[in-house]
């Protein structure tokens, strides 16, 4: 019998290994940009097409490569950054494994142009599936330009794992911003599908943070600086009252590299103590500088996790630095009770989503198919008359899914019965078979959700705003917003993007006029963004849900009797009046029979 074991060809080895280093376009962006930084560049340009699926190009003005290095760099374990094991403990560069370029060359069509300052001509190399298909001299500016085309073209299984362009673009922007925030001394530009998304000049770290997050962040940043023998901490934290409901704006950079570290995150949060409203996340951009000997970055191929030699000590110093920062600027929280209520809602919302896949009620729920019948608010009682069975039991939230029959309005007493608002949140009203308690915020969410879903194909009119709202989206939001603008328009937003990266909102759906549109839009987009990765619901449903959440009448607001009557009528004109789009009950019903039972009367 012949021997069975064979060595895998290099090409296959590289493709397999590439899986660890390059999971998606954003990973390639990170590797190329880090190489450009390692090459000492002062200007790095990122050009991306179709979320990086078609093209990722990084052009730098760094030190370039010799003709030989230009070929060698695509080989596995080809690196100029370490020579021996000792170098590992003194690393100041981003890369060192020599895997990135070998990996991309295995799974994409790669084109490299590079020239060192001292060379008269540069070199041009094209590679497909790890083999060089073209090599020639070329005219090119000093520095390096690498293009990665058709990522995963030869690994269809991986290509099919990529998410929508919106989601992949967001990942790309996240990587870009991490690098840009870590290196304010370097200028960066970013083009996506021929439009310029970022143009970041060489600057200091405050200017960079403001350029990335938006000009309104200048006053939100509190500087932090702590210099010890062991570690140096520099950067900014956000004022507690600006803390957001998502973690989007939290960055640790260790020796210039973005890292994730839950332990240090805890150090920051605990320093805020009770200055933070529950479940909110403060902004931070903290640069930690430490002797490379005191860390081991070699634990993960993409190097986002690190091991510290003395993690406790770093924790204490980070915590102290943040405390000092807060104390120095004597930042006091301004508590907004209205906001607080909506923070809680947001949590409930998140819980609903994160458990969505385990909840039979949620997964079994049919996708929104549009309103089949549109009962007028006045006609609802005749529509549903007689459909309620007698002798209902008390419907409590945990049983809401069994609540299939719709309540029948009590027609006889209609003229005399006025709904009552309790605790500025619950509306008590009478139905034929008992009483119901409607949650005003949740019920309104259902009404608005269905209205928005119905308006997508109809293009609703909008109410013009007296003072147009100008939105400056921070970073990755820009791309996301662009993908949903057409749908926002059909809901009734008169929204335009302008060349300066801002969005102007001149009009909003009619039901938003009284509210603060800026606040609603910011919140809505945050929730939208948060859910965008969730493929269970489509873009439109996500948009309708997110907007309904923030446009709905909040709990704690006084309502006039006529508004309450109209709210209840509209609720029962809905296709699925029982639940919010996020599957919370909109009302609770008590049957007459059960009430009698509870009181012990026949
Ligand atoms: P690593 O960064 O871990 O060394 P890479 O595969 O990313 O491995 O790159 C291999 C080598 O190619 C680098 O060590 C560097 O010498 C060279 N190189 C890559 N990108 C550039 C660039 N933009 N400018 C100059 N040299 C580069
Ligand atoms: Mg590298």
Give the 3-state DSSP-derived string for 103-157, with helices as H, strands as E and coil as C. Answer: HHHHHCEEEEEEECCCCCCEEEEEEECCEEEEEEEECCCCEEEEEEECCCCCCHH
Burial class (CB in 10 A: 0-12, 13-18, 19+), 139: exposed
Better pLDDT: 247 or 298: 247
At residue 219 the predicted structure's pLDDT band, cuts being 50, 70 and 90, is confident
If you measure from the C-alpha of residue 415 to the centroid of ligand 1, how many angstroms do you get, rounded to a whole number? 80
Greater confidence, 399 or 174? Answer: 174
pLDDT bracket for residue 179 (50, 70, 90)? very high
Q: Which two tokens stand for residue 149?
A: 């085309």
287 touches 223 (CB < 8 A): no
Portion of the chain with pLDDT greater than 90, in percent? 34
Task: Check whether 1 has a pLDDT greater than 50.
Answer: yes
CA distance 547 to 390: 37
Binding site membership of 319 for ligand 1 (Cβ less than 6 Å): no
Whole-number Å distance between alpha carbons of 449 and 391: 31
How confident is the model at residue 597, as a pLDDT? Answer: 87
Angle at CA 281, nearest 5°, toward 276 and 285? Answer: 115
Q: Average of pLDDT values for 93-118? A: 90
* C-alpha span between 598 and 602 (Å, rounded): 10
The ligand with the least distance to the CA atom of 297 is 1
Mean pLDDT of 213-235: 89
**What pLDDT does 344 receive?**
38
Residue owning the nearest CA to atom 17 of ligand 1 = 73
For residue 91, pLDDT over 80 is answered with no
Burial of 142 (0-12, 13-18, 19+ CB in 10 A): middle
- Higher per-residue pLDDT: 459 or 507: 507
Share the mean pLDDT of the chain. 80
| Higher pLDDT, residue 140 or 130 | 140
Q: Which two tokens stand for residue 482?
A: 């662009």
* pLDDT for 307 beyond 50: yes
Question: What integer pLDDT is reported at residue 331 of this predicted model?
Answer: 44
545 lines ligand 1 (CB under 6 A): no
CA 569 / ligand 1 centre spacing (Å) = 66
Q: Answer yes or no: is pLDDT of 412 > 60.
A: no
Q: Which ligand sits nearest to residue 36's alpha carbon?
A: 1
Rounded mean pLDDT of 360-377? 36
Q: Ligand 1 mean position to 73 CA, how many Å?
A: 6
- For the CA of 58, the nearest ligand: 1
**35 CA closest ligand 1 atom index:** 20
Which pLDDT value is given to residue 507?
Answer: 85
pTM: 0.62
Nearest ligand 1 atom, CA 31: 7
425 lines ligand 1 (CB under 6 A): no
- Tell me if 39 CB under 6 Å of ligand 1: yes
The residue to mutate among 79, 107, 140, having the most atoms of ligand 1 within 8 angstroms of its beta carbon, is: 79
Cβ(78) – ligand 1 distance below 6 Å? yes
Is 274 a residue whose pLDDT tops 60?
yes
Q: Does residue 101 line the site of ligand 1, with CB under 6 A?
A: yes
pLDDT of residue 404 exceeding 70: no
pLDDT at 590: 86
Q: Does residue 143's CB lie within 6 angstroms of at least one atom of ligand 1?
A: no
pLDDT of residue 85: 75
CA 119 – CA 64 distance, rounded (Å):
10
Say which residue, 15 or 257, is predicted with more confidence.
257
Q: Stretch 229-254: mean pLDDT, rounded? A: 89
Average pLDDT over residues 455-464: 74
Across the range 329-347, mean pLDDT stands at: 38
Helices (H) and strands (E) in the chain, counts: 18, 22
Q: pLDDT class for 222, splitting at 50, 70, 90?
A: very high
- Choose one of 35, 68, 257 to mutate for the ligand 1 pocket test, by most ligand atoms within 8 angstroms of C-beta: 35
* More reliable by pLDDT, 59 or 491: 59
Ligand closest to the CA atom of residue 77? 1
* Cα–Cα nearest to 562, from 414, 446, 418: 418
Mean pLDDT over 444-462 rounds to: 83
pLDDT for 299: 56
CA-to-CA distance for 3 and 183, rounded, in angstroms? Answer: 54
Determine if ligand 1 sits within 6 Å of the CB of residue 314. Answer: no
What span, in angstroms and rounded, lies between the C-alpha atoms of 377 and 356? 31
Residue 12 CA to residue 92 CA, distance in Å, equals 31
Q: How confident is the model at residue 359 (pLDDT cuts 50, 70, 90)?
A: very low
How far does the centroid of ligand 2 lie from the alpha carbon of residue 102, in Å?
A: 10
Neighbours of 221 (CB within 10 A): 23
Among protein residues, the one whose CA lies closest to atom 21 of ligand 1? 35
Cα 219 to Cα 71, 208, 330, 475: the distances in Å are 49, 14, 14, 18
Ligand nearest to the CA of 113: 1
Question: SS3 for 440?
Answer: helix
Cα of 35 from ligand 2 centre, angstroms: 5
The pLDDT value recorded for residue 20 is 78
Tokens, residue 387:
């459909």
Residue 54 has pLDDT above 70, yes or no: yes
Average pLDDT on 279-302 reads: 82
Strand residue runs (E) in 172-263? 187-192, 195-200, 221-227, 231-238, 250-254, 257-259
Task: Among 132-141, 189-198, 386-395, name the one with the lowest average pLDDT.
Answer: 386-395
Q: Probe ligand 1: pick from 17, 63, 73, 122, max atoms within 8 Å of CB?
A: 73
Does the pLDDT at position 377 exceed 90? no
- Of 153-167, 363-377, 415-429, the poorest mean pLDDT is in 363-377
Residue 504: what pLDDT?
Answer: 82
């Amino acid at each position: 019998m012949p021997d069975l074991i064979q060595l895998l060809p290099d090409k296959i080895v590289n493709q397999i290994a590439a899986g660890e280093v390059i999971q998606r376009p954003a990973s390639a962006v990170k590797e190329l940009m880090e190489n450009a930084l390692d090459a000492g560049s002062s200007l790095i340009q990122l050009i991306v097409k179709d979320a990086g699926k078609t093209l990722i190009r990084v052009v730098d003005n760094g030190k370039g490569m010799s003709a030989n290095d230009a070929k060698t760099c695509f080989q596995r374990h080809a690196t100029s950054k370490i020579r021996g094991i000792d170098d590992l403990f003194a690393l100041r560069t981003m890369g060192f494994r020599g895997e990135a370029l070998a990996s991309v060359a295995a799974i994409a069509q790669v084109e490299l142009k590079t020239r060192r300052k001292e060379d008269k001509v540069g070199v041009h190399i094209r590679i497909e599936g790890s083999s060089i298909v073209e090599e020639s001299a070329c005219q090119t500016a000093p520095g390096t330009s690498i293009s990665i085309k058709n990522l995963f073209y030869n690994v269809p299984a991986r290509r099919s794992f990529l998410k929508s362009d919106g989601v992949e673009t967001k990942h790309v922007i996240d990587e870009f911003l991490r690098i840009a925030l870590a290196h304010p001394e370097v200028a960066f530009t970013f083009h996506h599908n021929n439009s310029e998304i970022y143009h970041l000049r060489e600057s200091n770290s405050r200017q960079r943070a403001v350029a990335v997050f938006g000009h309104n962040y200048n006053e939100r940043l509190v500087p932090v600086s702590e210099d010890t023998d062991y570690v140096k901490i520099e950067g900014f934290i956000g004022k507690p009252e600006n803390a957001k409901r998502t973690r989007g704006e939290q960055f640790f950079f260790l020796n210039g590299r973005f890292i994730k570290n839950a332990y240090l995150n805890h150090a920051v949060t605990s320093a805020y103590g009770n200055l933070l409203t529950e479940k909110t996340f403060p902004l931070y951009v903290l640069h930690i500088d430490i002797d490379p000997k005191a860390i081991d970055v070699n634990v993960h191929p993409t190097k986002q996790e690190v091991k510290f030699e003395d993690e406790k000590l770093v924790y204490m110093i980070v915590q102290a630095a943040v405390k000092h920062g807060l104390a120095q600027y004597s930042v006091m929280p301004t508590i907004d009770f209205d906001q607080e209520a909506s923070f809680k809602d947001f949590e409930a919302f998140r819980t609903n989503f994160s458990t969505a896949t385990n909840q039979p009620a949620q997964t079994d729920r049919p996708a929104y198919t549009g309103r089949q019948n549109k009962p007028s608010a006045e006609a609802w009682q005749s529509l549903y008359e007689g459909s309620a069975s007698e002798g209902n039991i008390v419907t409590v939230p945990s049983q809401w899914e069994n609540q299939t029959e719709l309540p029948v309005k009590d027609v006889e007493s209609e003229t005399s019965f006025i709904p009552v608002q309790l605790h500025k949140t619950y509306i008590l009203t009478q139905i034929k078979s008992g009483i119901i308690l409607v949650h005003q915020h949740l019920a309104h969410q259902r009404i608005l959700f269905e209205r928005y879903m119905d308006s997508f194909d109809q293009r609703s009119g909008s109410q013009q705003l007296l003072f147009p709202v100008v939105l400056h989206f921070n970073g990755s939001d820009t791309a996301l917003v662009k993908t949903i603008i057409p749908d926002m328009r059909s809901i009734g937003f008169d929204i335009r993007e302008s060349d300066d990266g801002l969005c102007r909102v001149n009009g909003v759906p009619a039901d938003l006029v009284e509210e603060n549109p800026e606040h609603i839009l910011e919140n809505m987009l945050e929730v939208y963004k948060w859910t965008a990765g969730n493929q269970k619901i489509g873009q439109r449903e996500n948009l309708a849900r997110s907007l309904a959440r923030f446009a709905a009448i909040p709990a704690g607001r006084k309502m006039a009797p006529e508004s309450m009557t109209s709210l209840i009528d509209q609720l029962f004109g809905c296709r699925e009046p029982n639940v919010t789009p996020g599957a919370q009950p909109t009302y609770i019903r008590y049957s007459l029979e059960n009430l009698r039972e509870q009181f012990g009367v026949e």
